[in-house]
Homo-oligomer: A and B are copies of this chain.
Amino acid sequence: MTKSNPGHYFEDFKPGMELVHATPLTVSAGDISLYRALTGARHALYSAETFAAANGFPALPVDPLLAFHVVFGKTVPDISLNAVANLGYADGQFLKDVYPGDTLTAISEVIGIKENSNGKTGVVWVRTRGENQKGETVLSYVRWVMVNKKDPSSPALDPVVPDLPDAVHASALTVPAYDDWDDALAGSKWRYGDYEIGEKIDHVDGMTVEEAEHQIATRLYQNTAKVHFDAHAQKESRFGKRLIYGGVVISIARALSFNGLESAAQMLAINAGTHAGPLFSGDTIYAWSEVLDKATLNDTTGALRLRLVAAKNHPCTDFPLRGEDGKYAGNVILDFDYWAAIPI
């Protein structure tokens, strides 16, 4: 009997089951530097202690997406080692700011299972939370994955399909208070009132991703999914090469969106997300955004609900999304729906 981790198969997941994932991580200033250097992130709120302090933060906070990837990464050995596909995200909430020195532990609860009609795979829904060293939940999200069965002949439990919101309601958002937002330092004069529902923004810049970059980023998060790292084994795979972790795409697209959404710095919630296509080393990511909704949170702060779309090797001047058949256009790799705070 081997001591190396075989991962969980579809039959192993039971509704209500809780998994405490290995390797809590103390996030540090080093992680902040690496996140910036690997993604190009440049929001003042997550770059400058002075800017953060002027807006109610006791120290320089960690970018919410960095915290998200760290928590997500921990779940891979238990949830998706035998996954066929990462199907979606829902109800992602950033509840507490994370600071260097905080230790994040990831815990998942199985909230749904449904065997596929082919009897070979099934869908598993988990709610994952990241806890800090005080036991506070700093973030929480649902994702669902398609997982192989170990034994196709094993009987399936009754399906349980969770009821998930299309989007986090604005009233549920954690509300920051921006006391002293400096437009020049933030990089834009555009604030809450300047963005209109339906408005589309081409983020213009492109970012090419190299094998070393995505591997370094994915290991930073301690995400161990083999498809990102093992070129030898991937030669026999469908694509014949390493796949880039979808979180790398999310973070780079989000960093590109600085150009046009400079002051929408703080991600408050992840409503939904689809990895519409694979990204490989050498590909160039472009991105555009659409304002889906707006909400006033308090006197100083509003929120924009944003669709962030990334395409590869295709500048986004034409806002690519879906073809006439309703399917994602060939170059679209990400369709991501989130709330971000923005000063009023």
Contact of A37 among B29, B51, B220, B232 (CB under 8 A): B220
Asked if A17 is at the interface (CB within 8 A of a chain B CB), the reply is no
Tell me whether B208 and A242 are in contact (CB under 8 A).
yes
Tell me whether B133 and A187 are in contact (CB under 8 A).
no
Which single residue of chain B is at the shortest CB-CB distance from A216? B37
Q: Mark contacts of A212-244 with chain B using CB atoms, 8 A cut-off: 1 yes-contact digit, 0 otherwise.
A: 110111011010101001111100000000100
Which single residue of chain B is at the shortest CB-CB distance from A213? B212
A294 nearest CB across to chain B (Å)? 15
Tell me whether A33 and B220 are in contact (CB under 8 A).
yes
Tell me whether A40 and B219 are in contact (CB under 8 A).
yes
Tell me whether A33 and B36 are in contact (CB under 8 A).
no
A138 to B37, CA, bound (A): 23
Q: Which residues of B contact A329 (CB under 8 A)?
A: none
Q: Which residues of B contact A215 (CB under 8 A)?
A: 208, 210, 213
Contact of A33 among B33, B51, B208, B315 (CB under 8 A): B33
Q: Mark contacts of A118-160 with chain B using CB atoms, 8 A cut-off: 1 yes-contact digit, 0 otherwise.
A: 0000000000000001000000000000000000000000000
Supposing A28-B30, A28-B33 touch, asked if A22 and B262 sit within 8 A by C-beta, the answer is: yes
Supposing A202-B4, A212-B213 touch, asked if A232 and B50 sit within 8 A by C-beta, the answer is: no
Asked if A177 is at the interface (CB within 8 A of a chain B CB), the reply is no
Asked if A26 is at the interface (CB within 8 A of a chain B CB), the reply is yes
Tell me whether B212 and A2 are in contact (CB under 8 A).
no
A-B contact pairs, 18 of them (CB 8 A): A20-B185, A21-B184, A23-B44, A24-B47, A26-B60, A30-B32, A30-B33, A30-B34, A33-B34, A34-B37, A37-B219, A48-B103, A49-B101, A51-B103, A206-B231, A206-B232, A213-B215, A232-B315
With A29-B29, A48-B103 known, 12 other A-B pairs at CB within 8 A are A2-B260, A20-B185, A26-B60, A28-B32, A29-B100, A30-B30, A30-B32, A33-B34, A37-B217, A207-B229, A210-B212, A231-B282
Per CB-CB distance, the 8 closest pairs between chain A and chain B, nearest first, are A30-B33, A22-B187, A206-B230, A212-B212, A30-B30, A232-B284, A24-B48, A4-B260
